[in-house]
Amino acid sequence: MNKINLLAVSFLTVLSFNNKVIADNTIPAEYFACYSNYNSMQMSPNGDYIAIVSQPRNNKCDIETDLQKYVEDDYRGGRLTLYSTEDGSTVTLTSGKGNSSVGAVRWVSDERIIFNTEPTNSSGKSLGAYALWGMNIDGSKKKKLYELKTAQGIIAEPKLTSLLPDDPKNVMVKINERRGSVDDYYKLNIFTGAKKKVASGPDISKEEWLAQVVEKADGTPLAAVSNVEDRWRIWRYLPETDKWEIHFTNTCQTPTFFPLSGLDDKWLVAGQDVSKYDTFNEENDKSKLFLYDPNERTFELMYEDPTYDVAGPVGGCRTASGGASIDEKTNELIYVSYYAEKPVRLFFDDEVQQTNDMLEAAFPGEIVRPVTWSKDRNKVVLSVSSSSNPGDFYYFDKENMILTFLWDSSPWIDRTKLAKKTPIKYTARDGLIIHGYLTIPLGTSGKNLPMVVHPHGGPNVRDTIGYDTYVQFLASRGYAVFQPNFRGSTGYGAHHYISANKQFGKTMQDDITDGVNYLIDQGVADADRIAIFGGSYGGYATMAGLTFTPDLYAAGINFVGVVDLELLQEDSNRNSRRFGGFYDELRLEWGDPDDPEDMEYIIETSPLRQAHKIKSPVLIIHGAQDPNVRLVHARKLADRLDSLGKEYEWYVEPYEGHGFRGEQSTLNMFGKVEEFLAKHLKN
- 3-class state of residue 90 by DSSP: strand
Rounded to an integer, what distance in angstroms lies between the CA atom of residue 245 and that of residue 11?
A: 72
Q: Regarding predicted confidence, which is higher, 12 or 406?
A: 406
Considering the four listed CATH numbers 3.40.50.300, 2.60.40.650, 3.40.50.1820, 3.10.20.30, the one that applies to the domain covering 2-24+419-564+614-681 is 3.40.50.1820
Instruction: Please give the single-letter amino acid code of residue 289.
Output: L
Output the pLDDT for position 582: 64
Q: Is the pLDDT of residue 282 over 60?
A: yes
Q: What is the largest CA-CA distance in the chain?
A: 93
Quote the CA–CA distance of 536 and 557 in Å, as a whole number.
11
Least confident of 153-157, 529-533, 612-616: 153-157
- For residue 572, the model assigns a pLDDT of 61
Task: Report long-range pairs for 292-297 (Cβ below 8 Å, ≥24 apart).
Answer: 292/257, 292/259, 292/262, 292/266, 292/267, 292/268, 293/265, 293/266, 293/267, 294/223, 294/236, 294/247, 294/264, 294/265, 294/266, 294/267, 295/265
Instruction: Name which of 29-38, 202-211, 336-345, 587-596 the model is least confident about.
Output: 587-596
Q: What is the mean pLDDT of the chain?
A: 91
Interval 317-327 mean pLDDT: 91
Q: Extract the runs of DSSP E, i.e. beta strands, from 376-512.
A: 379-386, 389-397, 402-408, 421-427, 433-439, 449-453, 480-485
Sign of the alpha-carbon torsion through 214, 220, 222, 225: positive
The domain spans of the chain are: 2-24+419-564+614-681
| pLDDT for residue 645 is more than 70 | yes
**Res 17 pLDDT > 50:** no
Residue 191 has pLDDT above 90, yes or no: yes
pLDDT tens figures, 99-149? 889 999 999 999 999 999 998 876 556 777 899 999 999 999 999 999 998
Mean pLDDT of 605-625: 96
Entry pTM? 0.92
**3-state SS, one letter per residue, for 351-384:** HHHHHHHHHHHHCCCCEEEEEEECCCCCEEEEEE
pLDDT at 250: 94
> Tens digits of per-residue pLDDT, 571-583?
765 554 444 556 6
Q: Which amino acid is at 295?
A: N
Question: Closest by alpha carbon to 338, among 493, 209, 470?
Answer: 493
175-185 confidence digits (pLDDT tens): 999 988 899 99
> Would you place residue 1 in the very low, low, confident or very high pLDDT band (cuts 50, 70, 90)?
very low
**Closest alpha carbon to 200 in 190, 189, 213, 191:** 213
| Residue 209: predicted pLDDT | 87
Give residue 671's pLDDT band: very low, low, confident or very high (50, 70, 90).
very high
Query: Is the pLDDT higher at 558 or at 3?
Result: 558
* Higher-pLDDT residue of 580, 41: 41
Cα angle for residues 100, 113, 376 (degrees, 5° grid):
140
Q: Is the dihedral of CA 608, 611, 614, 619 positive or negative?
A: positive
Residue from 376, 304, 381, 361 nearest 336 by CA: 304
Residue 98 pLDDT level (bands cut at 50, 70, 90): confident
Of 481, 508, 485, the residue nearest 421 (C-alpha):
481
Distance CA 67, CA 398 (A): 47
Q: How far apart are CA 536 and CA 458, in angstroms?
A: 7
